[in-house]
Amino acid sequence: MSCLHDVQIKKIGEGTMNTGDTAFILVSAALVMLMTPGLALFYAGMVRSKNVLGTIMQSFILIGFISLEWILWGYSMAFGPDKLGMIGGLEWFGLNGVGLEPHTVYATTIPHQLFMIYQCMFAVITPALITGAFAERMRFGPFLVFSLLWATFVYNPLAHWIWGGGWLSSLGALDFAGGVAVHLSSGVAALACALILGKRRGYQTEELKPHNLPMTLLGAGILWFGWFGFNAGSALAAGSLAGSAFVATHMAGTTGALAWIAIEWRMSGKATTLGAASGAIAGLATVTPAAGFVGPISASIIGLIAGCACYLGIMAKNKFRYDDSLDVVGIHGVGGVVGLLAVGVLASKAINSNGANGLFFGNPGQLGIQCIAIAATIVYTFVITFVLLKIVNKLLGLRVPEHEEISGLDLSQHDETAYTS
Amino acid sequence: MSCLHDVQIKKIGEGTMNTGDTAFILVSAALVMLMTPGLALFYAGMVRSKNVLGTIMQSFILIGFISLEWILWGYSMAFGPDKLGMIGGLEWFGLNGVGLEPHTVYATTIPHQLFMIYQCMFAVITPALITGAFAERMRFGPFLVFSLLWATFVYNPLAHWIWGGGWLSSLGALDFAGGVAVHLSSGVAALACALILGKRRGYQTEELKPHNLPMTLLGAGILWFGWFGFNAGSALAAGSLAGSAFVATHMAGTTGALAWIAIEWRMSGKATTLGAASGAIAGLATVTPAAGFVGPISASIIGLIAGCACYLGIMAKNKFRYDDSLDVVGIHGVGGVVGLLAVGVLASKAINSNGANGLFFGNPGQLGIQCIAIAATIVYTFVITFVLLKIVNKLLGLRVPEHEEISGLDLSQHDETAYTS
Amino acid sequence: MSCLHDVQIKKIGEGTMNTGDTAFILVSAALVMLMTPGLALFYAGMVRSKNVLGTIMQSFILIGFISLEWILWGYSMAFGPDKLGMIGGLEWFGLNGVGLEPHTVYATTIPHQLFMIYQCMFAVITPALITGAFAERMRFGPFLVFSLLWATFVYNPLAHWIWGGGWLSSLGALDFAGGVAVHLSSGVAALACALILGKRRGYQTEELKPHNLPMTLLGAGILWFGWFGFNAGSALAAGSLAGSAFVATHMAGTTGALAWIAIEWRMSGKATTLGAASGAIAGLATVTPAAGFVGPISASIIGLIAGCACYLGIMAKNKFRYDDSLDVVGIHGVGGVVGLLAVGVLASKAINSNGANGLFFGNPGQLGIQCIAIAATIVYTFVITFVLLKIVNKLLGLRVPEHEEISGLDLSQHDETAYTS
Amino acid sequence: MKKIEAIIKPFKLDDVKEALTSLGIKGMTVTEVKGFGRQRGHKEVYRGAEYQIDFVPKTKIEVVIDSESVADVVRVISEHARTGEIGDGKIFVFPVEEALRIRTGESGKDAF
Amino acid sequence: MKKIEAIIKPFKLDDVKEALTSLGIKGMTVTEVKGFGRQRGHKEVYRGAEYQIDFVPKTKIEVVIDSESVADVVRVISEHARTGEIGDGKIFVFPVEEALRIRTGESGKDAF
Amino acid sequence: MKKIEAIIKPFKLDDVKEALTSLGIKGMTVTEVKGFGRQRGHKEVYRGAEYQIDFVPKTKIEVVIDSESVADVVRVISEHARTGEIGDGKIFVFPVEEALRIRTGESGKDAF
Ligand SMILES: Nc1ncnc2c1ncn2[C@@H]1O[C@H](COP(=O)(O)OP(=O)(O)O)[C@@H](O)[C@H]1O
Ligand SMILES: Nc1ncnc2c1ncn2[C@@H]1O[C@H](COP(=O)(O)OP(=O)(O)O)[C@@H](O)[C@H]1O
Ligand SMILES: Nc1ncnc2c1ncn2[C@@H]1O[C@H](COP(=O)(O)OP(=O)(O)O)[C@@H](O)[C@H]1O
């Protein structure tokens, strides 16, 4: 999805379908869809058993909820006709005019609707990522309202800025598959959520431990698998750029996991399996904006840095004592920043001629542009998220009452029990 | 797979392989294969822990059992040379003549064997769907015998009627990816099974609750993922029809889940996670016959109706008091009917020129044809299934004795325990 | 990946990218990656609950660890410029010269780096397979060291011999997707491990039973799914060979499962779900070297033989009383031998013109060549594995002390507990 | 006061609970246990090897009552837990010296 | 010697354990149980059907102590397990005839 | 009649069960419990934070026997459960007033 304006110049008017590209994006869309159930498991394994269904549900239902929002107004706001670089118009409301012919700018060799649904999966998983911040304590109804508002007023504009022909892309900011709109935005939103919702009962006094780590590891495996659709698929064609992004993605996941357990081993004497999973996700998240602009060695370095930086990000939480329950800030927020910076440093036109060179390849300006993208994303996301949360809290109340927190989300929000015999 | 006769006229003689199409169907076949293990988990999470392995096994072993049937005689009966519109001949027994060149009618741009194995996955999952009806009480050996007979005498003819050049397709009945042969047939067969096998011990007196809902949610996620191969793959080419079917599939799953939890919320005050999963499956099942004939908004409406209709379908069970244990009738039976009707109403040649228009697009006759297809499928399936069950019951005995039902299928049928420490 | 030398002659100089082929190998690489988490679950379900994380970790971390080895020196050793038929040179260290253009010999229609990363996934899963042999008793650090050495000194040379232009391929040995380097090598290495590490505490006196068979079945389902990428993907193009390999793979999994439960049924009166899963894996492993050389009926026969042979392989363990904990020898060792022999008997040029005919198709010599490949693999793997284990044991100590074995790997190696409430 | 401890078949729990409630019993505590006794366990097969599992899942019910009710409670439990087949379980009666309701501090008979 | 058996709310376990430790108690045994009592259970919904679950998760603590400590232990448990809401649980006191530490063979008060 | 309650290390259960069977004991009831005692628990790490887990998995065996057998049973359990290391567990003896076999209604010694 990178550099649509360069692409624009070259490809306008082409628009011939390619079966290989179409096959690849069909499958990639399915892969990215699967990431949300994967994330549900990744998160659900880390909560206590009384909250497992509530946690799964917060991801699962967004597949439905945000997809509907997306075909109604989301896609139009993000990718529809640009208005002043800030937002897409509502001309494409209800997919009006979004047909089966390739679009002339976005993904010119696959059906336009396929590009739309592929993007839909990104819109779905982003608010799902945030749910890790308020795990185990948010009311279900208000959660839905907040997610809808957030998707509309945070995700859609950010996606437009960077991928829909908005001002960040005009500026030349590079984000291959979701540093701005997906990872950094969800990480920053997570911080706002953690601050406004407050700590879980028992935070730092009781043992709030994962109830089922194999479930988390399964989720991590599914996420890794789906990430190939996320990053390689963002090449939007089955060619060498996809291959390159695939390799970069895999290597960063790899070195992220290794870096994380290496630090752990030094710090506490043991490597944990949750550390390996967390490091892999950190590497994968961090390389996301860079995947199509860097080679395998650069990607490996990005993963290494990601593993270290996100580990420190998580330690920060223990220090500042906000309860970002499942570490969205530490992983996606820190990862988003590091990844967007890494593009500014390590991007190379030798890998992607539609991209740009970074600092190490003689173009320090790119790093400046990336910093602007980071700053804009942080400020915009934090402010809007904060306001939305305050409003929803005022009107509906975000947090479950204490006795419901004690009995758990599964019973209190859904009248269900996860495990019986 | 729709409308093979139209396609026939156009494509005979073409038969040039396309790597994109082949790539897509290779992956789609793998995706549909994965649905059966997904279904195994979806079902197994809903039974008590003493029956989890027995339930998984009833799906898992059919991958083996029905695949063998399929290459020996099933594919030939379903897709082999037509005999009077009723059945395929046995000329292709043991895949005799089913080679690596594309077939001239079915899927003309991919290897014929690939089309065959893709269809195999449909033949596998259909009897696996039925197992939900007799969960927790059927003997393993007789189950195998019944499934083999059912695949042979119900699935193969139905698949021939609608996809193999049989009378339903000649009549113009439309079924994109499995309303007739997969969902309606399994739903109707499920009713026969529930009636003949009788209720589980403790039905409506004890709590026969799901032992592991996260397992069911994981299964639902895998099913949703695989459904893209099921429905989009049924375009048999990586082009705009596949894109359109993909979008329709996703949207119906989406609105199915939302409709279901909305009703629940009104009726019992809470949205359940099982409701979200059930609604998604209801939407996906219902849109299956329609996926390649309708646009995204129509598909969203189909999902909404599906969520409501299938919810009511399940309530019906509680009223009529048959023990369709995991709600195959309510979801796949009701969904099959609704989906086939929806094609008659919402199909549009603008989406698929090889299809037809439905009622809303000026062609009321299509609805009549769809009704014939529904009626024929219900009557044929119910009668044959009933007879097969009676025979197997007479010869072998379908139901486990009471003490084996109490100790559970895992121990009594397989000498195994699912969980130990 | 078969017969690269034949291919070489035909394809040198071509090197035009094909989007369909690229799409297929991108997805196949993702599928094979997923097999390692699948294997982690398959194995972890079979251990006691105190070892589940340790077992998952032994697979999961190899995704990271071996991938890094692979891009640094592994790929170069296996596929780099041939040195005397024995090993690839280090010219491609750090992917030096491994670019985005297709290679002129390997996979000439996809990016070279994509071929490299696809192969990476094979290099990852092979040492992960071995971990089943020393489950529940190996120290984590020494395990990492051993795996790295094994990948370097056993996997890389073997992969070179058979796929990288080494002496086995020059000799004409056929191995479509991993009989030599993956299954037989891991099976033989497993035997060495079982012998050197010794039995688990309580072996054959206590009940060392699977703690979570549904987890194992889920793992088996994921493995089966991924295997389509493993075997069909090894055609390296989305054409009829991939279709044929797909069908062969599926049928062997199928008949493997059926054969295994049939024997069980006769021997102990019941068919087990673990038996169905084990038989499927046996069939899939066994058909791996043959998948692209045999037709569907031959593949079905291979699966049948595999189910029987591997069942006996496992019985052998009970007799000879070595503790190959999760039956790597019985399944992958026996399966590897049977599969490589099967190629010598059942291979047919009618299926793959770049292959050869086997005994049944008039070419008894092929069987002799296959025997040489088997013998060489067994001897080389056993000797080197034995030596590596001895060295690592001497320097670091392979086995956990008794009290750590009692408390379990999760606590003793990783300071974690898999399940809490 | 006495404590009645009954080891019963798990699927009889609901019956017994209902019966005790009808008798006016207000509370009880239930534990999942494994029993070893005349009722043999079962065979399991793992990769071709057979295991004899000696333990059978059972449910333990504990009720503390005043001494006069012992005979009634024992009778009611044994009637409702009985299937007549081996493994129906046991009832044991223990002396209790003191009982206290945590919430209110009430003790003796008033505690339950 | 006496055995104190307390049925408490699970999330109070840590508090009670700390308090007992402060009192000098060196050991205890804890079991997850299901309680039935005045505190009602909860509703669950499964595919549109509602179920009333009567049992509530509780934690049982068992401590064997010498007879003099009974009053202290009972008091400490009841103070630290109390929330004042229904379902706080019960404390029962039982006579113990003998106690033995397996490792050393010590018996009586020396055993714990 | 007496009830012997033994808290032992889980992996000793099979040994103890065999030994008791040899002694002629026909039945027993087993519960998985968590023990707190001199044997310290273990450290766990979760996302960089360390937790001290105080409870150790233990197995509780309950056997009701006639009063004469007490010494034998206690001796056999303590012999077979002993590893000599800390955490081997305890044996407690309680008075039992009545015992009943549900299936037959037999009571006293005949019940077990
Ligand atoms: N002496 C005993 N002490 C404690 N529990 C016992 C004793 N004997 C039997 N039990 C418990 O009672 C259950 C039923 O006993 P069993 O001998 O199988 O059948 P029955 O009570 O019908 O003779 C056992 O599973 C065990 O839990
Ligand atoms: N008679 C009894 N015998 C044994 N356990 C009891 C008895 N009555 C109550 N309990 C236990 O005490 C718990 C709390 O009792 P409950 O009546 O709910 O509240 P409260 O103690 O506040 O009156 C119950 O869940 C049950 O486990
Ligand atoms: N006073 C007690 N009351 C009840 N159970 C106890 C008591 N003291 C110890 N236990 C149980 O005995 C187990 C072993 O005790 P511990 O002090 O660790 O070792 P040891 O028995 O070798 O001194 C504990 O884990 C606990 O379950």
Residue B409 has pLDDT above 60, yes or no: yes
pLDDT at A13: 40
* pLDDT one-digit tens code per residue, C114-170: 999 999 999 999 999 999 999 999 999 999 999 999 999 999 999 999 999 999 999
Q: Are F78 and F91 in contact (CB under 8 A)?
A: yes
pLDDT at A8: 36
What number is the average pLDDT over the span A1-25? 63
Residue A122 has pLDDT above 80, yes or no: yes
pLDDT at B391: 98
Q: What burial class does residue A266 get, using C-beta atoms within 10 Å of its C-beta: 0-12 exposed, 13-18 middle, 19+ buried? A: exposed
- Chain A residue with minimum CA distance to C414: A272
Alpha-carbon distances, residue E67 vs C316, E62, F95 (angstroms): 60, 15, 16
Per 3-state DSSP, what percentage of chain B is helix, strand, and coil (rounded to 5)? 70, 0, 30
Interface test with C, best of A222, A250, A293, A410 (most C CBs within 10 A): A250
Alpha-carbon distances, residue F96 vs C291, D78, E94 (angstroms): 69, 18, 11
SS (H, E, C) chain A: CCCHHHHHHHHCCCCCCCHHHHHHHHHHHHHHHHHHHHHHHHHHCCCCHHHHHHHHHHHHHHHHHHHHHHHHHHHHHHHCCEECCCEECHHHHHHCCCCCCCCCCCCCCCCHHHHHHHHHHHHHHHHHHHCCCCCCCECHHHHHHHHHHHHHHHHHHHHHHHHCCCHHHHHCCCCCCCHHHHHHHHHHHHHHHHHHHCCCCCCCCCCCCCCEHHHHHHHHHHHHHHHHHHHCHHHCCCCHHHHHHHHHHHHHHHHHHHHHHHHHHHHHCCCCHHHHHHHHHHHHHHHCCCCCCCCHHHHHHHHHHHHHHHHHHHHHHHHHCCCCCCCHHHHHHHHHHHHHHHHHHHCCCCCCCCCCCCHHHCCCHHHHHHHHHHHHHHHHHHHHHHHHHHHHHHHHCCECCHHHHHHCHHHHHHCCCCECC
* F28 pocket-lining for ligand 1 (C-beta < 6 Å): yes
The residue segments making up the domain with residue D102 are 2-111
Buried b (16+ CB within 10 A) or exposed e, C362-399: ebeebbebbeebbebbbebbbebbbebbeebeeeeebb
Residue C11 has pLDDT above 80, yes or no: no
Global confidence as pTM: 0.96
C-alpha torsion B17→B20→B21→B27, nearest 10: 130
Contact at CB, D99 and E81, closer than 8 angstroms: no
pLDDT band at C92 (very low <50, low <70, confident <90, very high): very high
C-alpha torsion C35→C36→C39→C44, nearest 10: -150
User: What residue segments make up the domains of chain A, in order of their start?
Assistant: 13-408
* CATH code of domain A13-408: 1.10.3430.10
ipTM associated with this complex: 0.96
pLDDT at C321: 85
pLDDT at A239: 97
pLDDT at B15: 59
pLDDT band at A15 (very low <50, low <70, confident <90, very high): low
SS (H, E, C) chain C: CCCHHHHHHHHCCCCCCCHHHHHHHHHHHHHHHHHHHHHHHHHHCCCCHHHHHHHHHHHHHHHHHHHHHHHHHHHHHHHCCEECCCEECHHHHHHCCCCCCCCCCCCCCCCHHHHHHHHHHHHHHHHHHHCCCCCCCECHHHHHHHHHHHHHHHHHHHHHHHHCCCHHHHHCCCCCCCHHHHHHHHHHHHHHHHHHHCCCCCCCCCCCCCCEHHHHHHHHHHHHHHHHHHHCHHHCCCCHHHHHHHHHHHHHHHHHHHHHHHHHHHHHCCCCHHHHHHHHHHHHHHHCCCCCCCCHHHHHHHHHHHHHHHHHHHHHHHHHCCCCCCCHHHHHHHHHHHHHHHHHHHCCCCCCCCCCCCHHHCCCHHHHHHHHHHHHHHHHHHHHHHHHHHHHHHHCCCECCHHHHHHCHHHHHHCCCCECC
What's E53's domain CATH number?
3.30.70.120
* pLDDT one-digit tens code per residue, A67-119: 999 999 999 999 999 999 999 999 999 999 999 999 999 999 999 999 999 99
What number is the average pLDDT over the span B238-264? 98
Chain C residues whose CB is inside 8 A of the D45 CB are 264, 268, 270, 272
pLDDT at C8: 36
Name the CA radius of gyration of chain F, rounded: 17
The structure tokens listed for B13 are 């003689």
State the pairing for strand pair F98-101/D90-95. antiparallel
Q: Are A130 and A150 in contact (CB under 8 A)?
A: yes
What number is the average pLDDT over the span B396-402? 97
For residue F102, what are the β-bridge partners? none
Instruction: Name the residue type at position C156.
Output: N
DSSP state of B71: I
Dihedral of CA B168/B173/B177/B179: which sign? negative
What number is the average pLDDT over the span B303-328? 94
Residue of minimum CA distance from atom 5 in ligand 2: D28
Select the residue of D17, D96, D105 nearest E92 (Cβ to Cβ). Answer: D96
pLDDT band at A421 (very low <50, low <70, confident <90, very high): confident
Dihedral of CA F34/F37/F38/F43: which sign? positive
Interface test with B, best of D9, D16, D34, D42 (most B CBs within 10 A): D42
With the most atoms of ligand 2 within 8 angstroms of its CB, the residue from E9, E36, E40, E54 to mutate is E36
Longest dimension (CA), chain F: 58
Residue A2 has pLDDT above 70, yes or no: no
Residue A6 has pLDDT above 50, yes or no: no
- Chain F residue with minimum CA distance to E111: F90
What number is the average pLDDT over the span C207-223? 96
With the most atoms of ligand 3 within 8 angstroms of its CB, the residue from F4, F5, F12, F36 to mutate is F36
Alpha-carbon distances, residue C398 vs C177, C193, C412 (angstroms): 31, 10, 14
Pocket-forming residues, ligand 2, beta carbon under 6 Å: D 26-29, 62-64, 101, 103, 112; E 7, 35-39, 56, 58, 86-90
CA distance A356 to A289: 13
Dist. CA A292 → ligand 3 center (Å): 60
pLDDT band at E111 (very low <50, low <70, confident <90, very high): confident
Residue of minimum CA distance from atom 20 in ligand 3: F87
pLDDT at A206: 82
Instruction: Calculate how close chain B gets to C253, using CA atoms only, in Å.
Output: 7
The pLDDT mean for chain A works out to: 95
The C-alpha angle with vertex C198 and arms to C192 and C203, in degrees rounded to 5, equals 125
pLDDT at D51: 87
Residue B356 has pLDDT above 60, yes or no: yes
Q: Are C189 and C390 in contact (CB under 8 A)?
A: no
C-alpha torsion B369→B372→B378→B379, nearest 10: -160
Chain A contact present for F51, CB below 8 A: yes
Residue C4 has pLDDT above 60, yes or no: no
* pLDDT one-digit tens code per residue, B279-289: 999 999 999 99
pLDDT at C146: 98
Residue B6 has pLDDT above 90, yes or no: no
Contact at CB, E103 and F94, closer than 8 angstroms: no
Instruction: Name the residue type at position A84.
Output: L
Residue of C313, C323, C326, C192 lying closest to C263 (CA atoms): C313
Residue of B93, B77, B233 lying closest to B150 (CA atoms): B77
Q: How many CB atoms lie within 10 A of CB A262?
A: 18
The structure tokens listed for C276 are 């169905």
Crossing angle of the two packed helices F70-81 and F13-22, in degrees rounded to 10: 150
What number is the average pLDDT over the span A263-278? 96
Instruction: Calculate how close chain E gets to F110, using CA atoms only, in Å.
Output: 23
pLDDT at C6: 37
pLDDT band at B2 (very low <50, low <70, confident <90, very high): very low
* pLDDT one-digit tens code per residue, C347-371: 999 999 999 999 999 999 999 999 9
Crossing angle of the two packed helices C213-231 and C273-287, in degrees rounded to 10: 20
Instruction: Calculate how close chain C gets to B120, using CA atoms only, in Å.
Output: 10
Dihedral of CA C290/C295/C298/C300: which sign? positive
Task: Say whether E84 sits in a helix, a strand or coil.
Answer: coil
- Chain B residue with minimum CA distance to A121: B250
Dist. CA F24 → ligand 3 center (Å): 27
What number is the average pLDDT over the span A26-53? 98
CA distance F94 to B404: 38
Contact at CB, E51 and B209, closer than 8 angstroms: yes
Chain D residues whose CB is inside 8 A of the E63 CB are none
pLDDT at B5: 37
Instruction: Point out the ligand nearest to the CA of residue D105.
Output: 2
Alpha-carbon distances, residue B216 vs A138, B273, B278, C43, C333 (angstroms): 23, 10, 10, 21, 35
The pLDDT mean for chain C works out to: 95
CA distance C305 to C313: 12
Residue of B366, B345, B59 lying closest to B186 (CA atoms): B59
The structure tokens listed for C295 are 């037709």
Contact at CB, E45 and B272, closer than 8 angstroms: yes
Total count of domains within chain F: 1
* pLDDT one-digit tens code per residue, C382-400: 999 999 999 999 999 999 9
* pLDDT one-digit tens code per residue, E60-104: 999 999 999 999 999 999 999 999 999 999 999 999 999 999 999
Q: Are C180 and C340 in contact (CB under 8 A)?
A: yes
What number is the average pLDDT over the span E19-38? 96
CA distance C372 to C204: 36
Residue pairs between chains A and E whose CB atoms are closer than 8 Å: 17
pLDDT band at C2 (very low <50, low <70, confident <90, very high): very low
Report H helices in B135-289: 140-150, 156-163, 167-171, 185-197, 213-231, 240-268, 273-287
pLDDT band at B250 (very low <50, low <70, confident <90, very high): very high
The structure tokens listed for A184 are 């950094």
What number is the average pLDDT over the span B350-359? 95
Instruction: Point out the ligand nearest to the CA of residue F40.
Output: 3
Task: Specify the residue for token string 């009726």.
Answer: B267
Instruction: Calculate how close chain A gets to F76, using CA atoms only, in Å.
Output: 34
